[in-house]
Chain A
Amino acid sequence: MSIILEGGWASYAALFAIGFGMTAPWRFVGVLLARNIDVESEIFKWVRCVSTALVAGLIARMVIFPSGALGSIVMPVRIGAFLGGVLVYYALRRHLGLGVLAGVSLLLLGQMFWH
């Protein structure tokens, strides 16, 4: 890990290996399989569920156990703003921009009044 923080050529090689090297294969295999894979197969549906749940878990982890500056904001504010954003999203007929805006605004407001 310190390879990365030191900078230099080795750091880029490491970043390439753990970044591109870990994401591109999934994409490429997707292209290769697209012909043969049965998009209606039960296995495929299960894999889709697993990967969706995984990303959702990542999202939850980011909100509940943040690292970095988000950690300086108290948990009730983070969770409240997060849920508020989702509520606004659905209330406004699934408007992405306003939902995100609502969430961020709630976070900033909550931060101002509660810390």
Chain B
Amino acid sequence: MAISTIDTDPPLEVQPAWCAGAGKWRAFWQGSRAMMQIPGLVLFSTALGFGAYARDSGLSLGQTAFVSVTVFALPGQVVMVDQIARGAALAAIAFAVMLTAIRLLPMVVVFVPYIRDENAAKGPLLLASHFVAVTAWVLGMAILPRLPVRLRLAHHFGVGTALLVAITVAAMIGHQLAAAVPPALAGALLFLTPIYFLLSLLGAVTVKADQLAIGFGLVLGAPVYLLIPDFDLLGTGLIGGSLAYGIARFCAPPNSQADERQLDESTQVLSQGQPEQGQPKKSKPKKSKPEHDEPPGQDKPGRRS
């Protein structure tokens, strides 16, 4: 199982070239560079939209930046700003934000094995967990298994810090531009959030049950909102999620190993770049080209996710 082998260094031919003799700061730097791919850039644009929306809802520049830094989870940030715009009570906003953040729990649980070292010290891990959001998660799952264990946490901090700075800067720029942007363009910026969320979500889930959950959630979102506007997110989650779980569990092969095997294969595929490059034999031609110093996996997250 992929997860159980994650605590040892991967074979040398799978590691990116820069890992040889690299220290933690090198890994940090490489991590922050890994952000400059499509997911990071799209996230930047989405954060622009968030900044504009925050301004629309009445937040100041400082408040927008503060929320970006302290929350660092676009679904939660968007819900918060959305609820403020609708004039909801503080407790209701808190509840809504809390609900969207539930997703962070399983994400972090799945992610921790990828960044912990032999000691698995809690302090650094707690700090590292703040930087776990969909984009960092997707990038991490693809790249981290290829790195030696000692460099993973530093790399993740690199990715996370770069993303945090990027979305905060983007939110602030979006906030300032909001007044200068015509409504049609402002609408397009705001549209980035749902479309980016969905596509990155689709790229991140590999298990059938989760895929069904996305489908049910999308379909149920509107009707449930009409029926129980105050608890619609919870309702959609519980109903849609339970339906998805039930169908996947009882209509799929009774062997629950099927899902996990799918998860393992996908994890392995992600960790090795594309399937064709998974074989060590085929990865050797790549090493002979100097311009492909970056591992294939570095580019792949942009295409896969």
Q: Which residue numbers of A lie inside 8 Å of B, CB to CB?
A: 1, 3-5, 7, 11-12, 14-24, 26-35, 37, 39-40, 42, 44-73, 78, 81-82, 85-86, 89, 93-97, 99-100, 103-104, 107-108, 111-112
Contacts and interface: CB of A to CB of B under 8 A. Distances in A.
- Classify the secondary structure of B's interface with A: helix
Contacts of A49: 209-210, 212-213, 240-242, 244-245, 248
A57 B217 contact: yes
B24 to A, nearest CB: 20
A55 B187 contact: no
B210 A69 contact: no
B287 interface: no
Given A11-B63, A61-B222, A56 B190 contact: no
B85 A68 contact: yes
B162 to A, nearest CB: 17
Nearest to A16: B70
Of the candidates B72, B126, B236, B242, the one having the most CB atoms from chain A within 10 angstroms of its own CB is B236
A96 B105 contact: no
Contact of B195 (A20, A64, A100): A100
B160 to A, nearest CB: 12
Closest 10 CB pairs of A and B: A56-B217, A30-B108, A60-B221, A57-B236, A54-B237, A50-B241, A53-B240, A53-B217, A51-B103, A57-B221
B289 interface: no
B201 interface: yes
Contacts of A21: 94
25 contacts: A1-B87, A15-B63, A26-B105, A27-B105, A29-B105, A30-B104, A30-B112, A37-B109, A40-B256, A45-B249, A48-B207, A50-B240, A52-B213, A53-B214, A55-B103, A56-B213, A56-B214, A62-B194, A70-B191, A72-B187, A73-B187, A73-B191, A82-B191, A104-B188, A107-B191
B90 interface: yes
B41 A61 contact: no
A31 B59 CA distance: 32
A54 B194 contact: no
B267 to A, nearest CB: 12
B125 interface: yes
B103 A52 contact: yes
Contacts of A97: 38, 41-42, 302
A100 B103 contact: no
B23 to A, nearest CB: 25
A31 to B, nearest CB: 5
B57 to A, nearest CB: 7
B173 interface: no
B108 to A, nearest CB: 3
B238 interface: yes
B218 interface: yes
A40 B221 contact: no
A72 B224 CA distance: 23
Contacts of A47: 102, 105-106
Given A4-B59, A29-B105, A46 B242 contact: yes
Nearest to A24: B130
B94 to A, nearest CB: 4
A70 B225 CA distance: 18
Given A30-B108, A73-B187, A107-B191, A52 B210 contact: yes
Interface stretch (B25-33, B74-82, B142-150): B74-82
